[in-house]
Amino acid sequence: MIKIAHIERTPASLDPPDPTSAPGHLGPSSQVRADEIAIRWRPSRHARRLLTLAAGGLLLAVVFRRPELAGLAAPALLLLGAGRATRGGLPGRLTVRVGLTSTRIYEGEPAAVDVVVSGAGETAGVAAEAGVPGTLGAAGGSSGARFDARWALEPGRGVEPGSATAVNGQAARFTFAIERWGKRKLGTVTLTLHDHWRLAEGRVALALPAIDCYPAPALQRTEVVLSKLPNRLGEHRARVPGDGTEFTGVREYVPGDRQRAINWAASTRLGRLQVNTFAAERSQDVVLLVDATSDVGEPGRSALDLGLRGASGAARAYLAARDRVGVISYQWGGAHWLAPSLGRRQFYRIVDALLQSDTGFARGAVFSRLPRAALPPGALVVAFSPLLDGRFVESLRDMRERGFSLIVVDVLNAEPPRRRAFADSAARRIWTLEQDAIRFSLRELGVPVVAWDGVTPLDLPLAPYTRRPLVTRR
């Protein structure tokens, strides 16, 4: 088993994968360097079977004195002899190169791993088309023997192969997709080499590198904007006058106003100089709060899956609007957090922080005592949670009472199973009432709770709160 020494990463796109792109157009693969590997040649199963036939025929011919049985062994002996004669040209070392089209992908996005084998000392060429019968020249050998290569992919857990898992040829491309987010080991690729007569076999297993699969961001085009925004330049219209582009009114000119802002029509009508006023454009701080404690529901559509996809979509939408976005991942009373920041790189930092939600108990900060950097005052907090953990619900109430603007996206899409027994149906009704009471109590505190099924865009449940600025009353 060899490990890939180094991977040179190429930047992945911020945008989700284009669903219309064909699987074949995956682009070039990342450059990966691999060491030369030693090949240990041994007789193949085919050689052992031929030897059994030859030895059995000859032995029986000797024991039973029947020459036709010796003739039965002749074809097998001929093949074995030919294999032995050409065995001297087998190469002892080969160069194997592994490349990935992307080291970061989204759920369901097709990706590929390219594998190429060449003789030791030869330059590894670009991956050839899969399925082309390949031959290898003997490295340093004098006989120029030819070899057949066969690649077999054993995908890792959660990796769905998109093409055949076994390919003949010097180069091969295996496409795959990962249906659920997380850090995934791609698996192993086994290279099996056969000599010209298929009697000698060399086998090498290569461990493929791990790949980060990001949750597929939910679709969100509109943003919830607070009525009170901090004094920081952005793209949201604020209620205070400033240097934005949105006209808000006309006022009397005071010394210091720009001449360009003079409204001559109003000035002529009123007889005094009037200037146009514009709304200021501000940005806001957005903190995405993901409840990673309760992962209930069908794998792939569980509460945690929906929460991460919603948080990714929201992060992308607010970062595109030039807001500062941070993330807090809540797990069993602890929390991992990432301070709000701007830019495309922040999106990857957020998603990397979300990927850590899969690791169980969070040994980071205590959730009830998060620093100001994690939860800046005046920030909009968008929480993605099934509201099953009482401590988390209490924390939300506490945040609301401290004056934070809060929106809860309810991602609970599972229920207790329906059973006929009276006790089970009563327990189910009680559970339902309890969940309704939790949501009612949050709404009473002024925290909007919107349900999201994970399929529709996030714009739909958030529509009542994106039409006008969100006002938070203490």
Partner 1 sequence: MTAIDDAAAAAPGAAATARGSLLSVAGPRLAAVLLGAACVAWSAAPPGHGGWPEVALIVAIIAVTAGGLRLALADVPEPDDAYLLSGWMRSWLNFLALLRTLAWEEIAVAAVLWLQVQHPGRPWPTAALGAGLTAYLLITHIAETGADPARMLRRHAKLLAIGACLLALAAGFAMIPAATPGAGASLLRVLAAAAVIAAAALVIPA
Contact positions vs partner 1 (CB under 8 A): 22-24, 41-62, 64-84, 130-131, 133, 148, 150, 154, 157, 162-169, 175, 192, 194, 196-199
Contacts of 423 (CB under 8 A, 6+ apart): none
Which of 55/426 has CB closer to partner 1? 55
**What single string gives the DSSP state of each residue in 363-423?**
-SEEGGG--TTTS-TT-EEEEEE-S--HHHHHHHHHHHHTT-EEEEEE-----PPP-SSHH
Contacts of 437 (CB under 8 A, 6+ apart): none
Answer for the pair 435, 294: CB distance below 8 angstroms, yes or no.
no
Which of 77/450 has CB closer to partner 1? 77
CB of 51 to partner 1, least distance (A): 5
CB of 142 to partner 1, least distance (A): 18
Q: How many CB atoms lie within 10 A of CB 424?
A: 13
CB of 361 to partner 1, least distance (A): 22
DSSP 8-state code for residue 17: P
CB of 196 to partner 1, least distance (A): 7
Residue type, 138: A
Which of 37/61 has CB closer to partner 1? 61
Name the phi and psi angles at 319, rounded to 5: -65, -35
Output the CA angle 204-205-208, nearest 5 degrees: 140
Answer for the pair 288, 311: CB distance below 8 angstroms, yes or no.
yes
Which of 207/470 has CB closer to partner 1? 207
CB of 335 to partner 1, least distance (A): 31
CB of 74 to partner 1, least distance (A): 4
d(Cα 146, Cα 382) in Å, to the nearest integer?
Answer: 63
CB of 420 to partner 1, least distance (A): 26
Answer for the pair 46, 198: CB distance below 8 angstroms, yes or no.
yes
Which of 58/261 has CB closer to partner 1? 58
Which of 64/422 has CB closer to partner 1? 64
Of how many residues is the chain composed?
A: 474
Which of 78/270 has CB closer to partner 1? 78
